[in-house]
Amino acid sequence: MRTGKEGIRAIATTVRRGQRYTEANRALAARTAKQLDIPNVPRGNDSLEELRAAYGADAVLVARRGVLTLVTAEGELFFHPGMAHLRMKNLLLGHGDHLVSALGLVEGMNVLDCTLGTGADAIVESFAVGEQGAVTALESNPLIAAVIADGLAHATGDNYEMHAAMRRIVVHHADALTFLRTAETDSCDVIYFDPMFRRPLHESAGMNALRALADMRALTEETIAEARRVARCRVVMKERRGSAEFDRLGFDTIMGGKYSRIAYGVMKL
């Protein structure tokens, strides 16, 4: 069974021995394999390299301590909230956050995040809109979607606020345009896109593991047109500062840190 990017073949397994997590790991590997329609392979004493060779797999989803890690030749992808903790602290201290400002988030808003990735932005959005709000996040790569959705649902947050914000995010394995086409007009407040940069910033180690699997397509005008129909207040896209993508897709307002290498294109509706 091939899954994910064209040609990516994946299997699910557990760590060799999980001590008190053994049963949880077995159940998680089995559930993940079923959900993704990939083989669930008993780990035995084999190394991951041996399993990869035996099953001709490019990627191995490993259930470890009750959460998933995706192991590929390019590196490991596992759920980690990244800078979300610091960003939430800044919000609590009233220092703000560039994404929250670009999206114009206030409590109770309904957010559609079309590019889940590591989930860090979605956590900040979920914290900003609070219990009365909602964040739905889409990810087109099934392996990334599985690992990050599992982490958001089962990993322990750094503190109660993060934990609660993580649990409130609803993840769908879906392509943004496909999802938007069937979404009702004005059915959410804001829509956010953080596509893989046309030219990467070679700075983030976490992103390198993601990059190996991520959907690299540029956004299309049709996707933006659908987003404008579905959102009530704003459509926002993150890109490199000065990227030609902002003009090409019609983002007329640029926000973000003055000295930052990234910027947010904002369309107010």
Structure tokens at 114: 């079309």
Q: Report the C-alpha gap between 211 and 50 in whole angstroms.
A: 24
Stretch of 58-66, 117-125, 159-167, 239-247 contacting ligand SAM, by CB under 6 A: 117-125
Helices within 185-220 (DSSP H only): 205-211
Stretch of 11-19, 192-200, 244-252, 253-261 contacting ligand SAM, by CB under 6 A: 192-200
121/161 with CB nearer ligand SAM: 121
Place of tokens 């073949």: 9
DSSP 2: B
Q: Shortest Cβ contact with ligand SAM: which residue?
A: 117
Crossing angle of the two packed helices 22-36 and 142-154, in degrees rounded to 10:
140
121/245 with CB nearer ligand SAM: 121
Is residue 4 near ligand SAM by the rule CB under 6 A? Answer: no
Is residue 175 near ligand SAM by the rule CB under 6 A? Answer: yes
Is residue 233 a contact partner of residue 207, using CB atoms and an 8 Å limit?
no
Q: What's the start-to-end Cα distance of the chain, in Å?
A: 43
What is the smallest separation between the CB atom of 139 and ligand SAM, expressed in angstroms? 5
17/217 with CB nearer ligand SAM: 217
Binding mask 200-239 for ligand SAM (x = CB under 6 A): ----------x---xx-x----------------------
The percent helix, strand, coil of the chain (3-state, each to 5) is 40, 25, 40
Q: Report the C-alpha gap between 38 and 32 in whole angstroms.
A: 8
Is residue 176 near ligand SAM by the rule CB under 6 A? Answer: yes
Is residue 196 near ligand SAM by the rule CB under 6 A? Answer: yes
Stretch of 39-47, 86-94, 113-121, 245-253 contacting ligand SAM, by CB under 6 A: 113-121
Stretch of 22-30, 34-42, 90-98, 119-127 contacting ligand SAM, by CB under 6 A: 119-127
Q: Report the C-alpha gap between 22 and 235 in whole angstroms.
A: 44
Is residue 1 a contact partner of residue 39, using CB atoms and an 8 Å limit?
yes
Residue 102 Cα distances to 36, 68, 99, angstroms: 35, 32, 5
Strands 188-193 and 110-113: parallel
In the list 38, 61, 144, 267, the residue contacting ligand SAM (rule: CB under 6 A) is 144
In the list 25, 40, 69, 115, the residue contacting ligand SAM (rule: CB under 6 A) is 115
In the list 33, 61, 102, 120, the residue contacting ligand SAM (rule: CB under 6 A) is 120
Is residue 141 near ligand SAM by the rule CB under 6 A? Answer: yes
DSSP 250: T
- Positive or negative, the CA dihedral 260, 209, 176, 161 is negative
32/115 with CB nearer ligand SAM: 115
Scanning residues 243 to 262, which ones bind ligand SAM (CB under 6 A)? none
List of residues contacting ligand SAM (CB under 6 A) = 114-115, 117-121, 138-141, 144, 175-176, 194-196, 210, 214-215, 217
